[in-house]
Structure 1
């Protein structure tokens, strides 16, 4: 049976560990499959220069090119402005950790569907043809000390529902805000109280909610994407 597996892996094992240390609000999403050529990676952070300098100083990645940022997008492309707000696109060459991870997955008949991350961790979604391949891949990842955590296993029928404009961290933040009544009128919790509940700074929470709102509005207006139900 075709199986979709979602894993969490520490950035220290795959990449971006130093960038996460230097930029607490750093988030990323691989825009293309990791393969023979350096992939395109969307990044979030306080500003383009801070993210760029952090990536350039990170020994786990090599900045091949800064492909696009807010200043380079056409002012007439309204959809691009909406969907790529406060994001910057880089072509990055990853180090040995990602290359070994990719080799283990492909040698067990797996395929990388998505890769994204925040708060010092990667979230990757893999596709396998059967559960035996999943088990074999997991054993090798454990053997090579990737310290993976399996967060979800589902059938291929769930794949269409698994597409969401939010990162895992953004989704969890919006869920917690809704649970505590942040979006109620009047509010059930203040931004400061919500930040304390999540264990992050007031500024980091404000930026995360703003990006989440922008992503959800863009998805609703362009694709009417429904949020995924994440097992926890």
Structure 2
């Protein structure tokens, strides 16, 4: 049975995260970890300002072969990064154990992950991998896939997106006139205003597309 694990890791424990840690005013969220030709290729969203400087910073990292901006919507851009070396850190461990990254984003001083493993045996193997490679992770919650939010499954929302949208609705963000703003939502969630904006916009877009475009109207 598939199992979902929520854990955090310090920035220095995450090689890819270390390549981004000195960039200010930029919130990062991994989109997927995909094995390509034996390499682990991260796709990620960056939300903030100064994308050109951000790209130069990442490209200057000795472990990065290239970084390509695939798409951009207002203050958020989707990137693909290719490594110059084999990744034997956290990303390598996730790839080896067939894990699927459901959510991964920057936090103050580290990263927060929500990962799905095909079974407890592979979760155990991932734990052993981290111990063998000296990677310290802080596990917050472990639960079967069956316990995942029904609304999250229906609309394919990440937990962060669902939390932000639910809070925005409850606080009157979508009402006219608005009863709250993104700054207040971000403060209540304990994240940056840019990260709150990204979660609300992407989550709302997913819900609307699923609700309105998935069905045919004759």
| Shorter-chain TM-score tier | 0.5 to 0.7
Which digits, 9 at most, give the CA deviation of each residue in 1:146-199, with x for residues without a partner?
A: 313243421479699648554443332223223434334554434333233234
SS in structure 2 of the partner of residue 209 of structure 1 = helix
The TM-score with structure 1 as length reference comes to 0.64
Counterparts of 1:42 and 1:164 in 2: how far apart (Å)? Answer: 20
- RMSD, aligned CA: 3.9
The TM-score with structure 2 as length reference comes to 0.67
Q: Name the CA shift for 1:169/1:17 in 2 (closer, same or farther; >3 Å).
A: farther
Q: Which residue of 2 aligns with 1:141?
A: 130
Q: Which residue of 2 aligns with 1:175?
A: 166
SS in structure 1 of the partner of residue 98 of structure 2 = strand
Q: Paired residue for 1:112, among 75, 99, 103?
A: 99
Counterparts of 1:215 and 1:85 in 2: how far apart (Å)? Answer: 17
Counterparts of 1:222 and 1:156 in 2: how far apart (Å)? Answer: 27
Counterparts of 2:54 and 2:6 in 1: how far apart (Å)? Answer: 25
Counterparts of 1:91 and 1:200 in 2: how far apart (Å)? Answer: 25
Gaps of 5+ in 1: 71-80, 225-232
Counterparts of 1:49 and 1:163 in 2: how far apart (Å)? Answer: 36
User: Contact 2:31–2:44 at 8 Å: present in 1 too?
Assistant: yes
Counterparts of 1:43 and 1:25 in 2: how far apart (Å)? Answer: 8
Q: Which residue of 1 aligns with 2:143?
A: 153
Which digits, 9 at most, give the CA deviation of each residue in 1:94-124, with x for residues without a partner?
A: 7432355247xx4xxx421235422231424
User: Contact 1:64–1:91 at 8 Å: present in 2 too?
Assistant: yes
Q: How does 1:12-161 map to 2 (within 5 A)?
A: 12-14=12-14, 15-22=16-23, 23-30=25-32, 32-33=34-35, 36-46=38-48, 48-58=51-61, 61-66=63-68, 68-70=70-72, 86-93=76-83, 95-98=87-90, 100-102=92-94, 106=96, 110-114=97-101, 116-120=103-107, 121-129=111-119, 131-135=120-124, 137-138=126-127, 140-141=129-130, 144-155=134-145
Whose strand proportion is higher, 1 or 2?
2
Counterparts of 2:154 and 2:113 in 1: how far apart (Å)? Answer: 14
Counterparts of 2:94 and 2:34 in 1: how far apart (Å)? Answer: 13
Counterparts of 1:119 and 1:45 in 2: how far apart (Å)? Answer: 11
Q: Name the CA shift for 1:162/1:6 in 2 (closer, same or farther; >3 Å).
A: farther
Counterparts of 2:186 and 2:91 in 1: how far apart (Å)? Answer: 36
Q: Which residue of 2 aligns with 1:76?
A: none
User: Contact 1:4–1:159 at 8 Å: present in 2 too?
Assistant: no
User: Contact 2:31–2:45 at 8 Å: present in 1 too?
Assistant: yes
Q: Name the CA shift for 1:36/1:155 in 2 (closer, same or farther; >3 Å).
A: same
